[in-house]
Structure 1
């Protein structure tokens, strides 16, 4: 089982410092935030990508995912702006087109870094549109994005989240089936699934074969606040067992809620997860 850690916990550090710290903590992979303050793709230069490749090579770490869920860099004062805006369901065609183009550039970045997938979200329901109109706009946007993804051989994992237009595993499964491309699948966040009260075994089976990347964090009392694994209510022994035979990709710990102590959060998370995985190996050997 391969574990990764997201740089979105390191927003007070450079992306290079984040990569070095995540590798030093013992992770095999790193998820890169495709947004300020790390990799805002509209301002990335060829020299930046060259430096990034050198950092990844020097730290002997792979890119697990390009996290294109947010684009706060679109705004002049990014930190104060809505988290998922502008989104793929924006009623303004020009704004929606900008977001589509940004996502395509994230796919290009993934290709350049030998990363197999990019994650996006549907964004929230827009106040000017009905959910049905939002779904139609989302499908049109995804079809354009997926056409580019197919050319680049990079997969797109849509991440569902409570409060967004696509907010459940069943909604995502329907969307994947409607689009009908093997390049569209899930960036499955197990914490989001837990908040929604979904049965994890059912959800993993529902999305089986289309889970391109996994986000992991702990949750307490079904409140959507990302916690270090082992400090909330989630049954990680059961969760990890669901992926042993059906998933070979990275499981990325996502703890953007720890910007003041990302290194500590990364180390504690991996210590817990490796300890749990080790106990499973011993238990299986005994049995």
Structure 2
């Protein structure tokens, strides 16, 4: 398992500068934000992507995941979504996902993470939203299968899917290994679940993990590891027991003013726990 750090904590720096900083902290991997001000696909041609690959190689960083969740370039954290009433808005999300799949294949990243539908629109039933999400996924799954890049749905507090009982039926109904789950440990805690139990139940579909701490209030606010209430040893034990073989990325986007310090402190807290669980050398 490679432990990476997401560039969405480094939005005050360029993408390539963030690689340098993450490598200096001692991370072996990096999750890349596929949005402005980092790797927004329309702004990166093959020549620019070749420079990205060269920088990753120079820094000895493996791309653990492409974070294709936000769309600040044309919207915000959640919108345009898969489930908006307007077809042209849903098309933006589909096209962005297709472009991110192409980028992942080019730079050698085996998965991208996508939002779980989106915020439920007013006057839309859950059944209607799930139907639209299925329609959107049907438009991107063939490309994912063709390129060998997995689409990992990330449950999120207050969106269409935030709990095990909501994401499990959706992914289990899609009969392709190209679709899985980006398991954000803190998100399941925010949703009132035991992350370790949720991981064990969803393990067959988990292709990447986000890690951060969350306060005892379960408010959705990513914290430096060790400052919250998440029982990391129980989660790591569940990962080891399940035989988890993929990667994990630290996601600390609230710390844009001090991403290096936040990463350093989190790494110092988590590495001993990962080693004790047998998940890190």
Asked whether the two chains share a fold, i.e. TM above 0.5, the reply is yes
Structure 2: where are the runs of 5+ without partners?
none
Q: CA RMSD in A?
A: 1.3
CA distance in 1, matches of 2:35, 2:110: 18
Matched, 1:115 2:109: yes
CA distance in 1, matches of 2:31, 2:218: 25
Matched, 1:143 2:138: yes
When normalised by structure 2's length, the TM-score is 0.94
Match of 2:169 among 167, 174, 184: 174
SS at match of 2:151: strand
Partner of 2:45: 45
Contact 1:186–1:212 (CA<8 Å) still a contact in 2? Answer: yes
* Cα distance, 1:277 vs structure 2: 2.7
Partner of 2:184: 189
Contact 2:199–2:235 (CA<8 Å) still a contact in 1? Answer: no
CA distance in 1, matches of 2:120, 2:152: 19
Matched, 1:211 2:209: no
* Cα distance, 1:279 vs structure 2: 4.2
Partner of 1:244: 240
**1:178–1:29 distance in 2 versus 1, CA, 3 Å:** same
Structure 1: where are the runs of 5+ without partners?
76-81, 282-287
* Cα distance, 1:223 vs structure 2: 0.9
Partner of 1:126: 121
Aligned residues: 275
When normalised by structure 1's length, the TM-score is 0.93
* Cα distance, 1:276 vs structure 2: 2.0
Matched, 1:253 2:276: no
Contact 2:186–2:195 (CA<8 Å) still a contact in 1? Answer: no
